[in-house]
Amino acid sequence: MSAERLTRRLRSRIFQNVLRMDIAYFDMPNHSSGKISTRLATDTPNVKSAIDYRLGSVLSSLVSVGFGIGIAFYFGWQMALLVIAIFPLAGVGQAFHLKYIEGRHNQDAKELASSGKVSACFLATEWCVLQEHRRICSTRG
C-alpha cells in the first residue's frame, strides 16, 4: 500500500517537473516526448517493485542467514564456521550476478526509451498524414 502511494507521488512530482521545463529542453534528443513518456511509464513501477519485492527479499534472506547460522551452531561449531566462511563467497557470486543483471537492465532501458521515441514519432507522422488526408478530401468535396 505504501509503495503504491509512493509510486503515485513520484509519478506526479516527475510530471510536474517535466511541465516546468523550458521548451528548449525538449529539443534535445535525450529529452524527446517519447523517451520522457517511456521513462514515466517504466521508472516509477521499478521503484514500486524495489520497495515491494526487493525489500521483502532482502529481509527474508537476512532471516534465512540468521536461522542457517543458528542451526549450524546447534549441530556443531565446526559446521557454523564452515557456513560463516561460505557466506562471503556466495555474496561475491551474487555481486557479480547483480552487476551482470544491472548491465542488461540498462541496455534494455535504453532500447525501450528509443522504441518509445520511435512510436511517438510514428504517431506524430500518422497524425500529420491524417490531417493532410482530411484537407485533401475537404478540397475535393
For residue range 42-88, list pLDDT tens digits in order. Answer: 777 777 777 776 777 778 888 988 898 899 899 898 988 888 888 88
The grid cell for 90 is 556466495
Alpha-helical regions (H) of 1-141 = 2-20, 33-49, 55-75, 77-140
The grid cell for 51 is 520497495
User: Which has more pLDDT, 33 or 82?
Assistant: 82
Average pLDDT of the chain, as a whole number: 79
Compute the distance between CA of residue 3 and CA of residue 19 in angstroms, rounded to an integer: 24
Supply the pLDDT for residue 138: 80
Compute the distance between CA of residue 89 and CA of residue 92 in angstroms, rounded to an integer: 5
Environment class of 38 (CB within 10 Å of its CB; exposed 0-12, middle 13-18, buried 19+): buried
Highest mean predicted confidence (pLDDT) among 11-15, 20-24, 78-82, 127-131 = 78-82
Proportion of the chain above pLDDT 70, given as a percent: 87
With 70 as the cut, is the pLDDT of residue 120 above it? no
The grid cell for 7 is 509510486
Compute the distance between CA of residue 35 and CA of residue 113 in angstroms, rounded to an integer: 5
User: Which has more pLDDT, 76 or 108?
Assistant: 76
Contact 45, 130 (CB under 8 A): no
0.85 cut: is pTM over it? no
With 70 as the cut, is the pLDDT of residue 96 above it? yes
> What does each C-alpha distance from 59 to 6, 63, 73, 97 come to in angstroms?
20, 6, 21, 19
With 70 as the cut, is the pLDDT of residue 11 above it? yes
> What does each C-alpha distance from 90 to 50, 55, 58, 84, 87 come to in angstroms?
22, 19, 15, 10, 5
Supply the pLDDT for residue 116: 64
